[in-house]
Structure 1
Amino acid sequence: MRQVRLAIGCLLLIVCLAACATATPPANPAPTVPYTPKPLPTNTTSPTIAPTRPRQTAVPSTPTPTPCANPGRMESGSYPSVTAGQMNYRIYLPPCYGLDGRTYPTVYLLGGNTHTDAIWDELGVDEVAEEGILAEELPPMLIVLPDGGWIANYSSGGPGSFESVIVNDLISYIEQTYCAWPEPAGRAIGGLSRGGYWALEIAFRFPELFASVGGHSAALLDQYAWPAVNPQYTGLSQNLGDLRIYFDIGADDYVINNIRQLHLDMETAVPPIPHTWVLNEGRHEEGYWQTHIPDYLTWYSEPWSFDRGDYLACSL
């Protein structure tokens, strides 16, 4: 009897050990806390700004029906970056892209530090754009979704940072590869969370390259960002010209303090710096950004014409 009990006990011990060895620990959700970047070596060489033509403002006109049998589509690709190597991107091409031989205004949307080029796609930016374009509530546009990778998380701004990737590499590649309107009036840039930091960093340092910039829950938390690149300073010290500026954030967002302070500083500057400030309900989360995508696309596209005849011819 004692031998039987010992045998049963050993058998139970073996089963228990096997179960413990195969158990899978619960997955942890991706953090939403903006990454504190590590400084790169100082590079004093100014970036080579993507070549541009003089700014021309598209003249809005009354929308005209443009029936189209070809739906819009999302494409993926990569481009060479002198600063960071091969980089991935996604691009939304509107219905009947390229068939009329005209260029399109372009929105560049950046993700946060835990995101890839997939985030805005997963939030449904292409579906919102498609619906708005087909309903003639939005003009046809390109939407570029670049991956930030290591350089967006481990640099703070200036030459040799993610700024150089966007300004020197991505914009030139897009405008040489697609029918993108190659003028400042045809470009907008925005981002969420850490991407909001980068959108503001880039546009405030190079306001002559863009018509509009948006910071959506912009996480202005970079401890290594010095005044020459930090949007909290460049937004006040730079001559931003006629750059359109949009800030929005949820009232319960934990990164609200610095972007709200920038809004107040711009509002009380002498003279005040024009910008749009939108305080919504919500927190720092994907549901918030997804809800407000229609607001973002409507705002970015306000200066752009619905009449395709107003745009430059595409040489591709």
Structure 2
Amino acid sequence: MKNLYSLLLLFIFISSNQAFASRVDTVEVFSASMNKKIKTVVIRPDDQKSKVIPTLYLLHGYGGNYSNWVEKVPYIKALVDRYNYMVVCPDGGHGSWYWDTTPDFQYETFVSNELVEYIESNYNVCKHRTGRAITGLSMGGHGALYLAIRHQDVYGAVGSTAGGVDIRPFPNNWDMSKRLGEYAANKEKWSEHTVMEQLHLIKPNSLKIFIDCGYDDFFFGVNEELHKKLSYLNIQHSYLNMPGKHDWNYWAQSIAFQMAFFDQFFRN
């Protein structure tokens, strides 16, 4: 692992000194379910030409927005050129956790239905689950797994980096009680909205799964438990730990592993 980590740092250094040829669009996607336009960043490879390419939907974390990935990890544009698939970064609202809850928080519907329809109507991308994947960081890591498990007809692969994959140990954090009600009075609802209690819905050999988390991350414990439960249920997945905290220093490293994983999925 130490050698792998060193190679990753070298790759980051080389990529950060390259000119990025990929193109970045910021679009406004209308959500009928929420009756508003939602900003979304689309990163396209330079040499797409007329080829139909896959799409990775990449979600931000709590307190973030649609521009986080391209602004805080600019070498993601080099990764898009390297792997030649499109990356789509939607705005997930403030503390939506990518659920459908109140009328103004319908982010499950937006990301997995409305956004996919918009992207596939306006860009030359694959329109099949074998050409779609989803991942994200923190709240977005939970969101990616939650959406992929519930929409296995839409996504063929899913990832999570430092994801809050079990929300129940954190009942007073990150606006979750605003979406679901207080945990003590709504335990069943919280269980229905946490990734940890959705694993039984995964169909055999349906999803390719990649999870990573830093050793010093406050979500490390719940990711360890998710890895154990997936293993116990004999659900195949890849699981990676590296040094790192819950910050952009870690996510800037982990996205290289995430995107390499999805490149392999798309190639297969």
Q: For this structure pair, what is the TM-score category when the shorter chain's length is used for normalisation?
A: 0.7 to 0.9
SS of residue paired to 2:116: helix
Give the equivalent residue in structure 2 for 1:253. Answer: 217
Does 1:199 pair with 2:147? no
Structure showing greater relative contact order (alpha-carbon pairs closer than 8 Å, 6 or more residues apart):
1
Q: Supply the distance in 1 between the matched residues of 2:253 and 2:83 (Cα, whole angstroms).
A: 20
1:93-242 residue pairs with structure 2 within 5 A? 93-97=44-48, 99=49, 101-124=50-73, 127-130=75-78, 133=81, 138-150=82-94, 152-153=96-97, 156-157=99-100, 161-220=106-165, 221=167, 223=171, 224=180, 226-239=190-203, 241-242=205-206
- Which of 251, 257, 264 does residue 295 from structure 1 map onto? 257
The alignment partner of 2:196 has SS state of helix
Q: Secondary structure at the match of 1:207?
A: coil
Q: TM-score, normalised by structure 1?
A: 0.66
How much has 1:164 moved relative to structure 2? 0.7
Q: 1:278 corresponds to which residue?
A: 240
State the Cα deviation string for residues 55-110 of structure 1 (Å, max 9, x = none): xxxxxxxxxxxxxxx9321110111102222101001111133x2x2211110000
What fraction of aligned residue pairs are identical, expressed as a percent? 24
User: How far 1:204 moved relative to its partner?
Assistant: 0.8
Question: What TM-score, normalized to structure 2?
Answer: 0.77
> Deviations for 1:264-287, whole angstroms, at most 9, x for unmatched residues?
011112xx1101111111110011
Select the structure that is richer in helix.
Answer: 2
1:78 aligns with 2:28: yes
Structure 1 residues 273-312: Cα deviation after superposition (integer angstroms, max 9, x where no partner): 1011111111100110002221111111102349xxxxxx
Provide the residue aligned with 1:262 in structure 2.
226
Aligned-residue RMSD, C-alpha: 2.3
In structure 2, the CA distance between the partners of 1:158 and 1:238, relative to structure 1 (3 Å rule), is: farther
CA deviations on 1:132-187 (whole Å, 9 max, x unpaired) are 73xxxx4311100111114725x645796311111121000000011111110000
Change (3 A) 1:256 1:277: same
Residues 92 and 159 of structure 1, relative CA distance in 2, 3 Å threshold: same
Counterparts of 1:282 and 1:261, CA distance in 2: 18
SS state of the match for residue 224, structure 2? helix
CA offsets, 1:228-285, max 9 Å, x none?
A: 442101123432542101110001101222222111011112xx11011111111100
C-alpha separation between the residues in 2 aligned to 1:89 and 1:216? 20
Tell me, yes or no, if the aligned pair for 2:43 and 2:80 is still in contact at 8 Å: no
Per-residue deviation, 1:129: 4.4
What amino acid sits opposite 1:248 in the alignment?
A: D
5+ residue gaps, structure 1, are 1-69, 307-316
* Larger Rg, first or second structure (1 or 2): 1
Q: Is the 8 A contact 1:157 1:229 kept in 2?
A: no
